[in-house]
Structure 1
Amino acid sequence: MISEIKGKISRSGSNLTDRLEDKLTGDFFGALRYLPFEQGLKRILQQVKFAEEKNQNEWLTLLDLQSGYKLDYKFWPKHSKGEIDLILEFDDLLVGIEVKYKSGISSEDDVEVEKVIEYKDSLHQLSKYSHILEERAGNRKCYLIFLAPFAIQHQVQQKLNVTYEISPAVKMGYTIWEDLHTALIWMTKTAQPGAQRLVLTDAKELLEVKGLKRFSGFANFTASYEIQHTPYIYETDKVLPSSAWSWPEMQSSEEDQPYVYSTY
Structure 2
Amino acid sequence: MLFAERHGKLGRNGSRAHDRAEDLLTSTAFQLLRYLPLEVGLLAVLRRMRAVGSDGHVATEAPAWLMLNTVTAADYTFWPRWAGFGEPDVVVTLSASGVTVGRLVIEVKLDAGKSGEAKEDTETADAPDPDQLRRYWQGLRTTSDAPALGVVYLTSHPIPPVDDLTVSVAREPGDWLGWLSWRTVWSVVRASELLPARDLADILAAKGLKCFDGFHSQPWILPHSPRRYWSAPSAIWFAQPVRVFPNSARFWTSLRGIS
Q: Indicate whether the TM-score tops 0.5.
A: yes
Provide the C-alpha distance between the structure 2 equivalents of 1:167 and 1:130, rounded to a whole number of angstroms: 12
Query: 1:164-187, CA deviations, whole angstroms, 9 ceiling, x for partnerless residues?
Result: x2485x61100111111122222x
Aligned-residue offset at 1:120: 4.0
SS of 1:64's equivalent in the other structure is: coil
- 1:222: how far off? 5.5
Written as runs of structure 1 = structure 2, the 5 A alignment for 1:123-162 is 123-138=130-145, 140-150=147-157, 153-154=160-161, 155-162=163-170
* Alpha-carbon separation, structure 2, partners of 1:150 and 1:31: 22
Alpha-carbon offset, residue 39 of structure 1: 3.0
| Structure with a larger share of its residues in helix | 1
Provide the residue aligned with 2:189 in structure 1.
184
In structure 2, do the counterparts of structure 1 residues 102 and 31 end up closer, same or farther at CA, with 3 Å as the change threshold?
same
Shift of 1:59: 4.5
For residues 134 and 153 of structure 2, the distance between their equivalents in structure 1, rounded to whole angstroms, comes to 12
- Alignment-derived partner of residue 4 in structure 2: 3
Q: CA RMSD in A?
A: 2.9
1:94 aligns with 2:90: no
Gaps of 5+ in 1: 192-196, 225-264
CA distance in 2, matches of 1:79, 1:178: 29
| 2:86 corresponds to which of 82, 94, 101 | 82
Aligned to 1:30, the other structure's residue is in SS state: helix
1:35 maps to a residue whose letter is L
Q: Which amino acid in 2 is paired with 1:184?
A: V
Contact 2:48 2:62 in 1 (8 A): no
Kept after mapping to 1: 8 A contact 2:49/2:63: no
> 3-state DSSP class of the match of 1:101?
coil
Q: Show the counterpart of 1:173.
A: 178
Q: Distance in 2 between matches of 1:215 and 1:116?
A: 45
Query: Alpha-carbon deviation of 1:49?
Result: 0.5
Percent of aligned pairs sharing the same letter:
28
What are the Cα deviations for residues 9-29 of structure 1, in whole angstroms up to 9, with x where unaligned? Answer: 112112223211111000000
What is the rounded CA distance, in whole Å, between the counterparts of 2:156 and 2:179 in structure 1? 11
1:103 to 89, 102, 112: 112
Match of 1:200, SS state, is: helix
1:41-64: CA deviations, max 9, x gaps?
A: 1111111100357x836356x212
Distance 1:107 1:40, change over 3 A: same
SS in 1 for 2:51: coil
Give the structure with the larger strand fraction: 2
- Contact 1:148–1:177 (CA<8 Å) still a contact in 2? yes
Are the equivalent residues in 2 in contact too, given 1:119–1:167 (CA < 8 A)?
Answer: no
Note the 1:24-43 alignment, pairs <5 A: 24-43=25-44
Counterparts of 1:71 and 1:33 in 2: how far apart (Å)? 8
1:204 matched residue in structure 2 = 201
- Partners of 2:123 and 2:169 in 1: how far apart? 10
Could you tell me how far 1:136 is from its partner in structure 2? 3.1
1:63 aligns to what SS in structure 2?
Answer: coil
Please say which structure displays the higher CA radius of gyration.
2
Query: 1:33 deviation in Å?
Result: 0.8
Deviation at 1:118, TM superposition (A): 6.3
Distance 1:3 1:57 in 2: 29
Structure 2 counterpart of 1:21 = 22
Question: How has the CA–CA distance of structure 1 residues 153 and 202 changed in structure 2, closer, same or farther, with 3 Å as cutoff?
Answer: same
Counting matched residue pairs gives: 207
Contact 1:76 1:84 in 2 (8 A): yes
Q: Structure 1 CA distance, aligned partners of 2:133 and 2:31?
A: 23
Task: Call closer, same or farther: CA 1:21–1:57 in 2, change over 3 Å.
Answer: closer
Higher RCO (CA 8 Å, separation ≥ 6 residues):
2
The residue type paired with residue 160 of structure 1 is S
